[in-house]
Amino acid sequence: MKTKTILLASLFATTTLLSANEINATKLFETNCAACHITDLSKMSNKSAFIAPPADEIMTHAKEEFGTDKAKAVKFMADYVRNPDPMKSFCASIETFGVMPAQKDVVTAQEAEAIVSMMYDTYPRKAFTEMQSKEGGGHRGMTFDKLDKNKDGGITAREFQIFRAKKNNIDPNKFVNTYYFDRIDLNHDGKMDEAEFDKMKADKRRKKNR
Ligand code: HEC
């Protein structure tokens, strides 16, 4: 009888814990993530003040990367949140922000999953996407010739960063890493040639059309 009561009690405790996690995903996000991943649309134009990509931006890129495969996106991101790795990050902005601090001791694996699942369902919001397309940031309108200013057939990491800084209205001095460029520079000669540029553009297009 006693064991039965204990069993029932622990079963009850587990169930409430599980549902509490799901119900509180928004609250967990507010407490642990929102200070870095802002959601206030009125602050989105001042990109130089960002310390991390806004939640809408993360999910815009996550959906380019994983499309409608929510399960895959959630699995990747829940793991990333607790074990970030600059080589795995899909945020090009990692060059300005650096890698995210690991949240292993902040949220459990289950909590991380609940939070990113909520983020996937909530972001990007329509208002954010509309704002973005008005601003015309990202890679739109980018051609190899425009970037290769001195016409030597190669774009250095710094040239690419300066271009992205101007296009996205960010202070070029904020670019302190070259993680993103290093992945584009497939033969690692320190320059992006036209073939590497074309591949980057094609990858972007392929992801967008998913
Ligand atoms: C101290 C600031 C900070 C906190 C707190 C923080 N993040 Fe981040 N996060 C970042 C930065 C910076 C990046 C971009 C660089 C990168 O990808 O590592 C990022 C990237 C991400 C990404 C994209 C991963 C990818 O593949 O590029 C996800 C998802 C994410 N954060 C979720 C969260 C969640 C969920 C929390 C709360 C549990 C959280 N973050 C807390 C700074 C933070």
pTM (two decimals)? 0.82
pLDDT(93) > 80: yes
Distance from Cα 34 to the centre of ligand 1, integer Å: 10
Fold of 136-208: Recoverin; domain 1 (1.10.238)
Q: How confident is the model at residue 3 (pLDDT cuts 50, 70, 90)?
A: low
pLDDT at position 10, please? 54
Distance from Cα 81 to the centre of ligand 1, integer Å: 6
Average pLDDT over residues 120-141: 84
Distance from Cα 52 to the centre of ligand 1, integer Å: 7
Ligand 1 binding pocket includes 53 (Cβ within 6 Å)? yes
pLDDT at position 6, please? 57
Q: What is the DSSP string of 29-80?
A: HHHHTTTTS---GGGTT-GGG-SS--HHHHHHHHHHHHTT-HHHHHHHHHHH
Structure tokens at 138: 């990202």
Mutate to test the pocket of ligand 1, among 81, 113, 123, 177 (most ligand atoms within 8 A of CB): 81
Question: Which range has the top average pLDDT, 4-13, 34-43, 159-168, 174-183?
Answer: 34-43
pLDDT at position 11, please? 52
SS (H, E, C) 87-117: CCCCCCCHHHHCCCCCCCCCCCHHHHHHHHH
Average pLDDT over residues 59-81: 95
Ligand 1 binding pocket includes 37 (Cβ within 6 Å)? yes
Structure tokens at 154: 């190669």
Distance from Cα 1 to the centre of ligand 1, integer Å: 48
Average pLDDT value over all residues in the chain: 86
Structure tokens at 143: 């051609």
- Grouping H, G, I as helix, E, B as strand and the rest as coil, residue 156 is strand
Sequence ranges of the domains in the chain: 24-134, 136-208
Fold of 24-134: Cytochrome Bc1 Complex; Chain D, domain 2 (1.10.760)
Structure tokens at 109: 């694996």
pLDDT tens digits along 38-47: 999 999 888 8
Question: Which range has the top average pLDDT, 3-7, 13-17, 35-39, 184-188?
Answer: 35-39
Q: From residue 177, how far is each of 108, 138, 161 by CA, in Å?
A: 29, 18, 10
pLDDT(18) > 60: no
Task: Single out the residue of 106, 116, 105, 34 nearest to residue 78, CA to CA.
Answer: 116
CB 110 within 8 A of CB 75: no
- Grouping H, G, I as helix, E, B as strand and the rest as coil, residue 145 is helix
Listed range (7-11, 44-48, 118-122, 153-157) with the worst mean pLDDT: 7-11
pLDDT at position 48, please? 82
Which residue's alpha carbon is nearest to atom 3 within ligand 1?
36
Ligand 1 atom nearest to CA at 88: 26
Ligand 1 binding pocket includes 180 (Cβ within 6 Å)? no
Element spanning 199, H or E: helix 194-208
129 CB-near residues (< 8 Å, 6+ apart): 56, 60
pLDDT at position 201, please? 87
